[in-house]
Amino acid sequence: MSREGRTALVTGAGRGIGRGIALRLAAAGCRVAVSDILTDAAEAVAAGIRSIGGTAVAVAADVRDWEAVRGMCASVHETLGGPEILVNNAGIIRRATLETVSLEDWDAVLAVNLTGCFYCCRAAVPYMKAARWGRIINVASIAARTGDILSAPGYASSKAGMIALTKTLARELAPWGITVNAIAPHAIETEMSAEWPPERRREVVASIPLGRMGTVEEVAEAVAFLASPLAGFITGSTLDINGGAWMA
């Protein structure tokens, strides 16, 4: 499943799922642009890739800022070429109910998770069109399928919007050989989930038919597949990575 010679841009890649995706794509032979709003985190991941013989650069950008995103993609193109692979992983969550969520938090979640995804696609697609080949993988969530039982209406709405955007762009960009897919993970072992109280972890695991949480590596493998030539006839799809917690 060679992706050698391709440049991958991964947002929100300073830790967790994004970091795992960046490392996996580097292992597959991609040049990797590690993007994160936290410059030090992005540089640490890029340095780790370079330390094992890969090619990587850190790029800091706030995905809420169109000009910053456009500049980031131009910088990646000048430094590494491409990008031909885009993984939209940057995301935030603000927990509150319909009546308690602040308007600022609602706007902030949609700005990062959905508008940021749109901006990154818009900025990267011209380079993919020039290559007549591209892969866009959007990191959504089981929340887009079920609604968010943990009281995060903005998060669930933004992730559902990502899936709708995925389908729309898949139709629009197909003539240029660009595929657009999403993944919808649930209950992944990350730095964030490591901070869950024990009772919450037990409840989550009990709701999963496979009886465990997923790993970053399992998510990264799914993304690596969708970015590969073997996934060339898959577009407009959402791959659920949830241990059976939600089934279509």
d(CA 47, CA 23): 11
Tell me the catalytic residues. Answer: 155
